[in-house]
Structure 1
């Protein structure tokens, strides 16, 4: 039974519940106030009637009898005086009923006892007059009466009397009051119910809009939004919360659809990229098995092609594995990393692998420094030189760099080419890779070694001044050093791949103190990147060269790896146009100690 009542209650609409509860509370309030007022009014009337009877009983009772000087002074020999409001009945001392003053009228007289003795009167009024209720002819207790004693003659005898007044007028007044009260109360309840229904209906109109919007969203229209409600109301706050939730759900669906589409493309592109070298390897293997390769040169060429395709396929698998590990969001091994030494090493590596390239590293200036003329340079270009004599590609890169600067390379005389330095110190050859090949090592964390820059006077100056050493500011971020090196390496490889051999490159490091960010930029002066494809180049397997020829580039994963690594470090990467032509890849990372810096994972 209880469950049935609860189920029925839950089936009732909220508007009906609120209207019903409001009407019920209003009705109960009116009933309590009306009945309470009537009870208090009745009590007040009863007290007034008792006070009136007490006044009559203690006053002059002879005024209710005729005064005739010529007749006997005996009470029983007098006639009653006419009185419309007060009923008086007289008894003999023995208790025998004598008569009343309403006997000769047509009024409804109260029902009085047949006998009333003095002892009964004394017993009924021990200290004060006691009000008793008397019935009328219809049996209703409409009379209030008291018993008293009054002198009956001159001999000291007292006659018991009953004094009564009617309460019909009072009862009639209370009945009229209750009738009027309940009439108005019913009207108030009806008006209250109507107004409550209208108010609830108006208030819940936005909720019906919420219902319709939810139904539309359930049908697949995810662009629906709620509006129209006042923001500071409950419905307004509900609409705002629902709109926020719908925006997030809509964004989640779009992200999910985009992710699914990217995954499909990723799987297709990965299959295509892996299938091509496998087909080549399989083709050459079948040629060898079938005996189509007759000469040793043909066999060597086939083996060379198989080896190159295997190497290319291995690099592709390594890139895919790197992306998969980045997607796992494993905790990074964070430490303070200075970007200036990393930029220097990347420039050295690039020039070691590409001796014809000129790479410039522009580092931030230490605050408070000035040049020989007392002016602060706009930027500082770091001189990139190997720390010890090297051979092979390194020595060739150093010599080429020195000739481009117009001076003798290390190991040659100073007077061999004493030209002026250009506007910036050009980058040296790839020290990190060359040092490994030559067995050397270098302290990459030393900021003092990589930050010193020698600024020489221009050759046109009449009197050369002494060189000025400008200290380079450290750009320290909280990151995993190997990952940041990989970012710079991939950006440099991308710049080298899509520019001509003689095109210079620049690596610019800067610090934005107000934003608490450090930036490293790889600047090239090639053909640049069209604005409509700048957001796509960081997608996996996306390449501007849709022909996918192996001679024009890699598999399209390098920039995707850059984007994933930078995002894991709470950074951003974008590409803008280089002034004068070319592309500038800008990586922004939070400085160490800033609120946006990634937090190291503590070992529990």
Structure 2
């Protein structure tokens, strides 16, 4: 039996999505899909709204361009707008005929900027053969102002094709401008309207979409948590039932599995959860049947072993009596017959020991109570190690005991057998010169910890999970020899469990450690019985 691996410390930080729970993945998937849908709707709406508003703005720009061209060529209708005057265009392109443009008496820029119907921030320019004759812009208060020379050059470069274009005019910002040909050959009229209103509208719509989308995502996440939890509740019950079965000790003894382990609603039997629950119930039915058959077989085998061992005691006692009788007349027997009788006696003793071990295991299997009393483990350890020192003089035996005696409640004879078996195991399966240290201590939970440690070759890793099984065999370094029956560790495990304790082994080459933990008893006052870490030579 090996101890469980120590749990690694939890790492705080980002974890891979494959390590998330199903609830988390479903919720995240739902929120991500909703966010993608909202983003798609928002982008499509922004794009459609931008096209719609820009088309409206283009219509306004084209209409303003036509109106500006008519007013530039013919002046405003009678009675509308301020009085106009004609004056030479400055500057005049070299080699061109004298040209006059219509301007109002006190304005800046082309006269059509002051005509009725022109919106504020409208920019206008008169271009002749790539040169700006006159340009200006309507300010926010309705007056007109000049534009920079860089802005005038930007307007002069536009082709006169009546197509609306977006231009980032120097000092004015983004505009949709249209360049239309004038009545006079070689001249064009450039008219533009700002895109600020369109940009502001798109920005506000974007902000509204973000706010509404965020609220929708929060509401969807909250609703998703409730929905996913309710929808996965049957799966949680299946998981809890499977965990309940997993926590049962299925490797020994009689196992009673609850059937059915999961209740299935007939109306939901066709669903995925219903099918999973039904499959789990059927699987557990088959497992329960197999475990019952295994338990019945084990019971029959153990009963047979117990009956056979009990029946073998009588003939073995008779054989042993007759061999002892023959040994009394050993001098009258031939040498070969005397040797044979010696062998019969030794093998009878060995077989008797095996039968007694089998009977003890049979009693423990049936749950017969052990004798209860206060056992001084300190004295018991000293006696057992002293016996081991006599049986294995070529090993180094050491003790590591506390200053005060340690007592437990239990069967002294059986606990002595546990320790004797552990020490015999160390003596039998390690080479001469091995150091075996037996230590005794009181644990943090007031339990008693008994440890047998040796620096021998160790137990193979593949054998360690089965080392406490009956008749477990290892390789040549841990093989059956020296009278070993293969039941010593199995008896130790059974006796320790009968006392409510645990036994485990940790082994690597050069270090094998058997650890026995027993419920503690009240320590009784006594003189120091053994010095700490004193070797027995």
TM-score, scaled to structure 1: 0.34
When Rg is computed on C-alpha atoms for both structures, the one with the higher figure is 1
